[in-house]
A = this chain, B = another copy of it.
Amino acid sequence: MIKAGIIGATGYAGGELVRLLLGHRDAKIVWYGSRSYIDKKYAEVYQNMFQLVEDVCRDDNMEQLADEVDVIFTATPQGLCASLVNEEILSKTKVIDLSADFRIKDVKVYEEWYKLEHKAPQFLDEAVYGLCEINREAVKQARLVANPGCYPTCSTLSIYPLLKEGIIDGNTVIIDAKSGTSGAGRGAKVDNLYCEVNENIKAYGVASHRHTPEIEEQLGYAAGYPMHINFTPHLVPMNRGILITAYASLKKDVTEEEVRAIYNKYYAKEKFVRVLENGACPQTRWVEGSNFVDVNFKIDPRTNRIIMMGAMDNLVKGAAGQAVQNMNLMFGLPEDEGLRMAPVFP
A contact residues vs B (CB 8 Å cutoff) = 12, 15, 18-19, 22-23, 46-52, 171, 174, 176, 178, 180-182, 186, 188-190, 192-204, 206-207, 228-230, 232, 234, 236-241, 243, 245, 247, 274, 276-277, 280-290, 294, 298-300, 302-303, 305, 307, 309, 311, 340-346
* B residues near A345, Cβ cutoff 8 Å: 15, 19, 46, 48
Would A341 and B341 be within 8 Å (CB), given that A48-B287, A207-B307, A286-B47 are in contact? yes
A186 touches B181 (CB 8 A): no
* B residues near A305, Cβ cutoff 8 Å: 174, 230
In chain B, what residue has the closest Cβ to A288?
Answer: B199
Cα A190 to Cα B47 in complex, Å, equals 14
Smallest distance from the beta carbon of A227 to chain B beta carbons, Å?
A: 10
Smallest distance from the beta carbon of A87 to chain B beta carbons, Å?
A: 36
* B residues near A206, Cβ cutoff 8 Å: 281, 298, 307, 309
In chain B, what residue has the closest Cβ to A299?
Answer: B207
Smallest distance from the beta carbon of A268 to chain B beta carbons, Å?
A: 10
B193 touches A239 (CB 8 A): no
A228 touches B294 (CB 8 A): no
13 A–B contacts from the bound complex (CB under 8 Å): A47-B280, A49-B342, A181-B193, A193-B193, A194-B237, A198-B239, A199-B238, A200-B241, A201-B243, A202-B281, A228-B302, A230-B303, A289-B344
Cα A340 to Cα B300 in complex, Å, equals 41
B307 touches A201 (CB 8 A): no
Smallest distance from the beta carbon of A183 to chain B beta carbons, Å?
A: 10
B303 touches A48 (CB 8 A): no
Would A176 and B237 be within 8 Å (CB), given that A202-B282, A202-B284, A342-B48 are in contact? no
Smallest distance from the beta carbon of A272 to chain B beta carbons, Å?
A: 10
- Other than the given A182-B195, A206-B298, 14 more pairs (CB < 8 A) read A12-B346, A47-B276, A51-B274, A186-B193, A199-B346, A200-B238, A201-B243, A201-B283, A202-B285, A203-B281, A207-B302, A228-B303, A236-B236, A289-B289
